Structure 1
């Protein structure tokens, strides 16, 4: 009986010791696990080397990107220079085209339309006391006076009785008619000019100018400002 009690007491002690050891092992494992979680995953040497290589590649790529950006900026500057040169060339071509169109207009090669003036010259009224009939008829020099004044005042195109003039045109007086480039026209003579109506009118109406000279020659002179003047191109010119 005594032996049985002694054995049972030893078992209790051993059980307590085992319980304490189990608690210590469990506590130690819990502490270790918490420290591992707080420190994060363990990185191996191979992973560390890969991280270093990736950082180096990233740094190299950043440097390369800077170089490419610099090159791109240089290309943009070059493109802008080309654009400026093209713009200047385009302006030159535009000016040449504008001049060519102006010359075509002077040569009568293109149809023109715009504002202008219309001058009508009529023979003077019959005067029985005037022995020389030529003294009150319109002659080519009268027509030339009007045409020259219109050109000087900036007229871009002129026609006589619908016959458009060119740099090669000629006007000849042949008795009671005037021949313009081979086409005869009787009086009245209608001279139409394309240009600034106010400027052209002012030039013709100057005191002592063309109008006064023609009136003094007994020529009937009338002037009218016109809008929508149209002159067709000269065919075969």
Structure 2
């Protein structure tokens, strides 16, 4: 009887792990899907957003905020689950390691933890005050399309704003606002991802580098084996 009881216990634990990892995978896929969908919506509807009523924009921002809040709740739940697994497994095992890695990836996506890895730092100089929010949005979209895992934007008067699922950039040249915070030139993008791919995406003919130059600015892009995105999203 004791042997059967132990078999039952281990079976229950395996079933819990299967449910946990299945949930982790689903949550991560949803998060990535939201990010990609948000990117497509921005690319396809920039003109409509420009002409949208303030009330409609507030509804859009509120919906995105609710989605990010839901992801944060999922992170909290996953952290509790990990704590339970650590108690059961003594903090070891391939299953627990996989769970941690998936939780870390989701946390980076939402912007609740710093991120370090290979990537690029792009500095946009704007001596003639000709670079407005539309240019900065283009730069962000190019980085996302090139596979940037996470991005922050800093300015001369700001240590950095972490880009999240509901981030927004607005304002004319000289009065740019990112997520409600004023960001002044030079604008510094720090992005984690494949350095060569990110740099190439920004420097394609007619791309971000050329657009900045047409507006009287200049881009400097440096590739590195390790960059740090330290800004965090405010819960």
Which residue of structure 1 aligns with residue 185 of structure 2?
187
Contact 1:177/1:187 (<8 A) preserved = no
Q: Give, in whole Å, the separation in 2 of the partners of 1:137 and 1:110.
A: 33
Q: Give, in whole Å, the separation in 1 of the partners of 2:162 and 2:138.
A: 17
Which residue of structure 2 aligns with residue 170 of structure 1?
168
TM-fit CA distance, 1:227: 3.7
3-state SS of 1:223 partner: strand
3-state SS of 2:136 partner: helix
Which residue of structure 2 aligns with residue 113 of structure 1?
116
Which residue of structure 1 aligns with residue 205 of structure 2?
207
Which residue of structure 1 aligns with residue 27 of structure 2?
none
Q: Give, in whole Å, the separation in 1 of the partners of 2:230 and 2:200.
A: 26
Which residue of structure 2 aligns with residue 152 of structure 1?
145
Instruction: Compute the TM-score of the two structures, normalised by the length of structure 2.
Output: 0.53
3-state SS of 1:207 partner: coil
Q: Give, in whole Å, the separation in 1 of the partners of 2:208 and 2:173.
A: 23
Distance change >3 Å, CA 91–CA 227, structure 1 → 2: closer
Q: Give, in whole Å, the separation in 1 of the partners of 2:220 and 2:132.
A: 16
Per-residue CA distance 1:121-170 (angstroms, 9 max, x = gap): 12255xxxxxxxxxx61100110111110011111111111221111212
Contact 1:122/1:187 (<8 A) preserved = yes
Contact 2:169/2:179 (<8 A) preserved = yes
Greater radius of gyration (CA): 1
TM-fit CA distance, 1:231: 2.2
Moved over 4 A (4+): 88-97
Distance change >3 Å, CA 175–CA 123, structure 1 → 2: closer
TM-fit CA distance, 1:191: 1.1
TM-fit CA distance, 1:214: 2.7
Q: Give, in whole Å, the separation in 2 of the partners of 1:193 and 1:233.
A: 12
Q: Which runs of 5+ in 2 are unaligned?
A: 1-6, 19-92, 155-159
Aligned residues: 146
1:195-234 alignment runs, 5 A limit: 195-232=193-230, 234=232
Which residue of structure 2 aligns with residue 129 of structure 1?
none
Q: Give, in whole Å, the separation in 2 of the partners of 1:179 and 1:139.
A: 10
Q: Give, in whole Å, the separation in 2 of the partners of 1:203 and 1:225.
A: 13
Distance change >3 Å, CA 91–CA 169, structure 1 → 2: same
Instruction: Compute the TM-score of the two structures, normalised by the length of structure 1.
Output: 0.53
Q: Give, in whole Å, the separation in 1 of the partners of 2:190 and 2:167.
A: 15
Q: Give, in whole Å, the separation in 2 of the partners of 1:197 and 1:207.
A: 18
* C-alpha RMSD over aligned residues: 3.0
Distance change >3 Å, CA 235–CA 192, structure 1 → 2: closer
Contact 1:159/1:191 (<8 A) preserved = yes
Q: Give, in whole Å, the separation in 2 of the partners of 1:233 and 1:192.
A: 10
Q: Give, in whole Å, the separation in 2 of the partners of 1:233 and 1:190.
A: 13
